Every structure is written in structure tokens, then in C-alpha cells.
Amino acid sequence: MHGSAMRIAGLCACAMVCAMVCAAGLAQGDAGGGSKDAPRSPAERASDLVAHMTLEEKAAQAGYDAPAIPRLGIPAYNWWNEGLHGVARAGFATVFPQAIGMAATWDVPLMHAAASVIGIEFRAKYAATVRPDGGSDWFRGLTVWSPNINIFRDPRWGRGQETYGEDPELTSRMAVAFITGLQGDDPRYLKTIATAKHFAVHSGPESTRHRADVQVSRHDLEDTYLPAFRAAVTEAKVHSVMCAYNAVDGAPACANEMLLQQHLRDDWGFEGYVVSDCGAAADIYLPAGEGHHYAPNPPVAAAEAFKAGMDLVCGDYRHRWNSEQDAIVAAVREGLLTESALDRSLRRLLEARIELGLLDPPGSNPYARIPPSDNDTPAHRALARRMAEESLVLLKNADHLLPLTRKPHSIVVIGPDADSVDGLVGNYNGTPSHPVTILAGIRARFSDAQVTYVPGSGLIDAGPPGEDPVAAARRADLVVVVDGLSPRLEGEEMKLSAPGFSGGDRTSLDLPAPQERLLERIGALGRPTVLVLVSGSALSVNWADRHLPAIIEAWYPGEEGGTAVAALLAGDFSPAGRLPVTVYESVDQLPPFGDYSMANRTYRYFNGEPLYPFGYGLSYTTFRYANARIVRAGGGPEQFEVSAEVTNTGARAGDEVVQLYLTHPGVSGAPRRALKGFARVHLLRGETRTVRFTLRGRDLSVVDPSGTRRIIPGRVDVWIGGGQPQSRPGLRRAAGVRARFSITHAAVLPD
């Protein structure tokens, strides 16, 4: 059925009665025509609603701020909500560590638990703000534009803090946990809808993102850039995907049939809807220098996007696109886009709203019973503290300075991030009701000590005048320097130009010069000094690594970050966070930022010596690995179970992150090594546990230079340990064991 008003006027009498009298029935799922049969499926209900819309109504529903259609029982709905590490931009909410920090936990169950809490808080916000007619406002809906599962291929990218790091396997596991936590496990209704973004090959530079045409090899596309999206679709059943600003191989991502149809729907079976990144639909037609100029005008751009598989436009497209009439309406009327293609998108969108229960009576949806009081609760804040504790990575601990076995009488805390709430929350964040800065955490945990705060330098300048930080450090028993970055320096498309920074990206991996100069003056005193790094990306702290006794990477640790850092100093827990990125010695070790080839990037292909390797992190206890075993398992000709015994050989209980890496010697297209499994386990003093991993087809495969994923017969080397098997001289090597097995059957795997 077509959507114009004239065609609706010609409907049969029965359908007209349904449209005019039974609007509530259409929206809420009564069988059509007054039948009392079993309720119709969401797909059937969505099709029925679309069939009763005019073309103009359909075009309006394809925008992120969809107006109500009262005659059909459809309330207004704003699709735009952010939930990267907590409900964002909607007032008070629990603020977990920034995404890169959550990845540093390497704790999949904890990630799932945090996402489940975030979903509950979205429901609580919705319950508190939904209008009497069922409408919702901006940042108050249930469609969450998270997670960001782009690969953090280059530490200069300012938005890398939003990701789960540089590795496809770690990113995939964290993505699946986050998505399933957000969406819930009810067989009929969704708690929220997660959105995997930005599809695809999107990872900077920010300054060219609206016009960049990313040229990427078929090998790198399949090997690095797509696996996490595939896992999000095929394993987590994500209900939404956001297409990116950039073009890929000549076609804008939001009008790219190779991405949106071939991979997403044909290969992976995606059944949800695709939303554009905000403004990306306009980039399709904007002139060179501003956008891609892939289409000559707005109607052609709309047609190309919807035909390729985009379903929802984010951005003020009704203002930016129309002169006399809406571009979507014009595209249909000019014959550029069939109305059936637009109907397909509308069905996907309405089916999503039905599965959220937004068109049903509240009593039928279990998630609708979540009250407004289930937001920002003490239990949720406790989980944020645990996540912050697990995210901390101990990078250096010379002479066992930490944990502090003797209580210091005087502590001086220095640095621009020490008392900064910005330094806790990162970007795309909510507002914490009880933020604990690192200074506040130290004061609370070491309440018997004299704690003095001296800001020292600013983030990128000398800072305000005040007490001499060097003099204060000279008098203290313990010096804690809290240096690093800020979401005011690194982030999305920022209007900032300063030494080391440009437009939200970084041009240097070093600490900003004012911080570095002051840090070296303090370090020269020889006092017991701990450097706490606050950042969303890797910092090349070469001088500190050579001269300071202790370094902690805290990321942007969320609302309980200060409590967590202080507890680590005191030894209330043993740290076990691991780096989800490589920390390079210098930007000079990297290829050009705009080069999307993975050659010499990330631990998988980097040929140099990093400052700290991916997967690295120290503990307050020690571990031993033994008895590696590999056995063929059932379920296919090439399936293996790999196991090893892990023993806590230290003096205290602690977590260990067990990591499994595979190497395919001599195989073209294979990385130097690749993470294929990991588990965070808690071991009591002296406890031994056998940790097992099952390796199946895709785990055993490599991508050949043509982009084909294959299982290739031959030797496979295995490493199971607390980090990678190699490190630079002077860096503690991870404990672990080696093994090997042979693949005997060749196979080509589907995309």
C-alpha cells in the first residue's frame, strides 16, 4: 500500500475504520479488523502502521526527532540518547570510567553488569520524564547511541577514549557484553536499544572526518576494522548500527552498499535499523571541502542513503535539506527513491519502538516497572567504584614503593588533574552526584595524614600563581603527581589548537610541556613519588619511566575514581588492570595519522619496541603458569581446548588477567601475534586454578592479502600468560607458558 493521502482515502471501509477509530489497536497490537486472535508480531504491527501513513508523515518519522501521529496512536519520540559509560547529558546518573578504562579491566562479566545498570538508569530516566501522551524528549528516550567499537588504531585520535582499545578480540568481547547488558534478556521486550558505532573504518583525524575517503585494503577491513561489528550483530544481536561520517573506498559510509547491505545485512543477517551519525547524511551532498559531494543535491543524497540501507537521519535535515519541500519527499516524488524503500526503513524503526514497549500499555512491559528511583543508587555507585578499581593499570613499581606499607605523615598532591571532575568523567558523560576527585579520595583514605594540595602547572600552561610545588614536595613523606590530559584537550571535533593538540586530536604523545617540566623538577628531588596519569589515550612518559619509582594509568576513572586511586595506593586491593592499547615511545614510531593501513600499527603489526606493550600491567602479587595442554575438541575437524594452571605465588590475594595469543609462523597476512582469549580470575594466596579456552574456526583463521578469511594448515604457536610473551629490556616480563599445535584441515570461512 502506498503512503499518500489520496491513496489512503481510497482504502476499503474496513481499513478506514481501523485507521480512524482503532488507532490505539494499531499501536498496541490488537489483531487487525477487530479479530481477537493472538497478538500480531512487531513486524506485522509496524507494517500496518506504515501502511496508514502519508508520505509526508513517513519522511518526518525518518528523522531523529519524530513527531506524534495521534490518529495512529504514535507518540512523539526523540531517538538521540548517549550512554557511553553511563546515561549522558540527562542530569545526575552513575558515571562509570570512560570506555577505554572499562576496557582496561579485561573483565567481561563486570562490563555486562555495568551496562545492565546503565540500561536500568535509562529506564528510570524515561519513567521520570515521559509525557502523559507517551512522548519523549531529547536525551530522555531508550535508544542508546553506544558503544563506540571502532578500533583505536592510532593514539593521536581524540575520540579513542570512547573505544575499547586497539584489538579486535578485546573490543568484540567488551562490545558483546555491553550490548547484551543494555538490551536485556526479556524474550519479548528490550530494556534499551544499543547502537554499535561508527560503521565503519572510523578513527580520525577529526579535522577531515566529514570529507575523508578512507582507502582500506580488503585484508585490513576483514582482519581489523569489521570483526567487532560482526560480533555485535551475530552474537549480541545489536538492534541499531550508526553509519560513520567518512567515506570508504569512494562511497560515504551512510550511502555505502558494500557496508550497509553486503556486510551488515547479507553476510551478518542484521535485522535492525541504521542511523546516520549526526550530520553524516548531509555530508553525502555537501561540496568538497565540507563533505563528500557524492550526490549533487539533497534529494539525490537522500535516495542514495535510503537505497543503500540507512533508515534514520540524525541532524537538522529538515532545515538543512529543504528549500521548498523535504528532501525525502522530493526524492520519492521525483522518482529517485521508491516509496517501498522508504517504507522498509519505517517498518524497521517502528518495530524497534514496539520491541521497546513504547506503543504498548505500560503493564505489559517488565522494564516499564523500573521506577525513577532506580537512578544513581548507592549500589550503582558501588559498582562504579569496583569498575574504577579494576581499570587502574600499575605501569611501574620500583622497589615495591606500592602499596604503602607505612602510613605517610604528610602527603603533597600536585597536578592539574588532581582535583578535577573533568578528569574523572571524560566525554559523552553524565553528571555524577557524588564525584570523588583523586585529591578527595586521598584525603578520605589517609585521613590521619597531613594532605596538602598544590596545583602546580595548568594542563597546557604554567597555571595560576601559588605555593611552590617543588618546595612542598621536598617537605612531604609522599608525593602524588596527578598529570595528564582532559576531555577539554582530546575529544570530538574540538576548536582547540595548542602545542601537542589540534582539533581534538593529538600531535604529540608526550605530556604537555608545562606538566613535563614541573614533573622533572619534582622527580629530581628523589622523594617517594607516584605519578598518576589521567587520560583517555596513551602517554609517552619516557622520563618518568626512567626516573620515578611508581606510575599508575588511571584513565578517566569515573565518579569514584579518587576513591579507587587512593585504595590502590593504600593496598586495599591488588591492581590487575591491563593496557588495552600500546604505549609508544614517541609519535615518531607511527605511520602518518591519515594512513589507515595497519602496517606497523598496534601490537599485532608493530615492528618497534613500545614503552609499554598492549596487555601489560603489574600486580602486588605474583603468578606462575604451568602444565599447558592442548586437546582436540568435538564440534568440528579444527576445534581445540587450550588450558593452563595458574597459581598465585605471592603473599596476598589478587586478580590475574590470563591472556591467550596465537602466532601463525610464515603465513602471509597473519599478525605477529593475536589475542584469541582472555579471562580475569581471582586467586587467593597459594591458590591454583586451571583456566580453559576453546578455539574454534574464526579463532584459528587468518585473513589472506585478498581479504579472504581462511583456516590454513600448519603450525600454530600458543602463549598463555599475564601479558604478551616479550617486553623491552628493564620491563617486567609476564609470566606464562608456551605450547603449539598443528592445523590439518584447510577451510574458507564466510564473512
Phi/psi at 518 (5° precision): -70, -40
Q: Confirm whether 558 is domain-assigned.
A: yes
Taking 50 as the threshold, does the pLDDT of residue 35 lie above it? no
Catalytic residue among 277, 376, 417, 505: 277
**Range 743-749 average pLDDT:** 94
Q: Confirm whether 677 is domain-assigned.
A: yes
Other Cβ atoms within 10 Å of 516 Cβ, number: 17
More confident residue, 325 or 679: 679
User: Lowest-pLDDT range, 20-34, 93-107, 128-142, 245-259?
Assistant: 20-34
**Range 136-147 average pLDDT:** 96
So what's the pLDDT on residue 181? 98
460: nearest Cα among 539, 542, 540, 516:
516
What pLDDT digit, counting tens, does each position of 225-258 carry? Answer: 999 999 999 999 999 999 999 999 999 999 999 9
Query: How many H helices and E strands in the chain?
Result: 25, 28
Residues 577 and 692 in one domain: no
Confidence label for 526 from pLDDT (cuts 50, 70 and 90): very high
CB within 8 Å of 465: residues ≥ 6 apart:
none
Task: Tell me if 516 sits within 8 A of 449, measured CB to CB.
Answer: no
Q: 336 in helix, strand or coil?
A: coil
Residues 661 and 593 in one domain: no
Domain that holds residue 641: 623-748
CA–CA distance from 41 to each of 50, 360, 620 (Å)? Answer: 14, 13, 55
What pLDDT digit, counting tens, does each position of 14-32 carry? Answer: 333 333 334 445 666 653 3
So what's the pLDDT on residue 255? 98
Catalytic residue among 326, 376, 483, 490: 490
CATH of the domain at 553: 3.40.50.1700
For 711, counting Cβ atoms within 10 Å of its Cβ (0-12 exposed, 13-18 middle, 19+ buried), the class is buried
DSSP for residue 266: I
For 324, counting Cβ atoms within 10 Å of its Cβ (0-12 exposed, 13-18 middle, 19+ buried), the class is exposed
Look at the chain and report how many structural domains it folds into: 2
Instruction: State the average pLDDT for the chain.
Output: 93
Whose cell is 597459594? That residue is 686
Which contiguous run of DSSP H or E holds residue 623?
strand 623-632
Taking 90 as the threshold, does the pLDDT of residue 261 lie above it? yes
Is 277 annotated in the active site?
yes
**Range 469-487 average pLDDT:** 97
So what's the pLDDT on residue 14? 33
Other Cβ atoms within 10 Å of 125 Cβ, number: 27
Other Cβ atoms within 10 Å of 452 Cβ, number: 17
Confidence label for 3 from pLDDT (cuts 50, 70 and 90): very low
Q: Confirm whether 291 is domain-assigned.
A: no
So what's the pLDDT on residue 463? 87
Say which amino acid occupies 19: A
Residues 627 and 601 in one domain: no
Full strand arrangement of the beta sheet holding 654-663: 674-683, 654-663, 714-721, 736-743
Residues 593 and 444 in one domain: yes
Residues 666 and 541 in one domain: no
Distance of alpha carbon 131 from alpha carbon 137, whole angstroms: 9
**CB under 8 Å, gap of 24 or more: what pairs does 25-31 form?**
25/73, 26/52, 26/72, 26/73, 27/72, 27/73, 27/74, 27/359, 28/73, 28/359, 28/360, 28/361, 29/354, 29/359, 29/360
Rounded to 5°, angle at Cα 191 from 186 and 192? 140
14: nearest Cα among 57, 48, 44:
48
Q: Confirm whether 111 is domain-assigned.
A: no
Residues 497 and 538 in one domain: yes
So what's the pLDDT on residue 303? 97
So what's the pLDDT on residue 18? 35
Taking 90 as the threshold, does the pLDDT of residue 542 lie above it? yes
Q: Confirm whether 155 is domain-assigned.
A: no
Q: Confirm whether 376 is domain-assigned.
A: no
Residues 535 and 633 in one domain: no
CATH of the domain at 711: 2.60.40.10
Residues 389 and 505 in one domain: yes
Cis link prior to 147 (omega < 30° from 0)? Answer: yes
**Of 605, 636, 658, which residue sits at a domain end?**
605
So what's the pLDDT on residue 25? 55
Residues 552 and 597 in one domain: yes
CA–CA distance from 287 to each of 211, 284, 293, 300 (Å)? Answer: 9, 9, 5, 14
What pLDDT digit, counting tens, does each position of 567-622 carry? Answer: 999 999 999 999 999 999 999 999 999 999 999 999 999 999 999 999 999 999 99
What is 675-708 written as a DSSP string?
EEEEEEEEE-TT-EEEEEEEE-HHHH-EE-TTS-
So what's the pLDDT on residue 88? 98
Q: Confirm whether 71 is domain-assigned.
A: no
CA–CA distance from 442 to each of 223, 311, 349, 414, 556 (Å)? Answer: 44, 49, 49, 12, 17
- Altogether, the residues listed in the chain come to a count of 751
Strands 143-144 and 193-199: parallel
Distance of alpha carbon 288 from alpha carbon 509, whole angstroms: 31
- The cell numbers describing 45, all together, are 504491527
What is the pTM for the complete model shown? Answer: 0.95
Confidence label for 36 from pLDDT (cuts 50, 70 and 90): very low
Task: Tell me if 658 sits within 8 A of 635, measured CB to CB.
Answer: no
Q: Confirm whether 739 is domain-assigned.
A: yes
423: nearest Cα among 440, 402, 404:
440
Distance of alpha carbon 606 from alpha carbon 726, whole angstroms: 13
Distance of alpha carbon 4 from alpha carbon 18, whole angstroms: 17
196: nearest Cα among 96, 90, 270, 304:
270
Phi/psi at 215 (5° precision): -95, 115
Rg (CA), the chain: 27
For 689, counting Cβ atoms within 10 Å of its Cβ (0-12 exposed, 13-18 middle, 19+ buried), the class is middle
So what's the pLDDT on residue 166? 98
Taking 60 as the threshold, does the pLDDT of residue 37 lie above it? no
What pLDDT digit, counting tens, does each position of 671-682 carry? Answer: 999 999 999 999
Say which amino acid occupies 133: D
Say which amino acid occupies 267: D
So what's the pLDDT on residue 464? 84
Whose cell is 560513520? That residue is 244
Phi/psi at 349 (5° precision): -65, -45
Is 595 annotated in the active site?
no
For 552, counting Cβ atoms within 10 Å of its Cβ (0-12 exposed, 13-18 middle, 19+ buried), the class is buried
Residues 564 and 707 in one domain: no
Confidence label for 646 from pLDDT (cuts 50, 70 and 90): very high
**Of 574, 605, 636, which residue sits at a domain end?**
605
CA–CA distance from 85 to each of 64, 94, 98, 378, 415 (Å)? Answer: 22, 9, 6, 17, 25
What pLDDT digit, counting tens, does each position of 198-223 carry? Answer: 999 999 899 999 999 999 999 999 99
Residues 441 and 482 in one domain: yes
So what's the pLDDT on residue 254? 98
So what's the pLDDT on residue 633? 85
Q: 626 in helix, strand or coil?
A: strand
For 336, counting Cβ atoms within 10 Å of its Cβ (0-12 exposed, 13-18 middle, 19+ buried), the class is buried
Task: Tell me if 530 sits within 8 A of 408, measured CB to CB.
Answer: no
What pLDDT digit, counting tens, does each position of 399-458 carry? Answer: 999 999 999 999 999 999 999 999 999 999 999 999 999 999 999 999 999 999 999 999
User: Lowest-pLDDT range, 37-46, 152-161, 607-616?
Assistant: 37-46
**Of 571, 605, 639, which residue sits at a domain end?**
605
- The cell numbers describing 640, all together, are 581445540
CB within 8 Å of 112: residues ≥ 6 apart:
177, 178, 180, 181
Residues 650 and 533 in one domain: no
**Range 367-387 average pLDDT:** 98
Confidence label for 10 from pLDDT (cuts 50, 70 and 90): very low
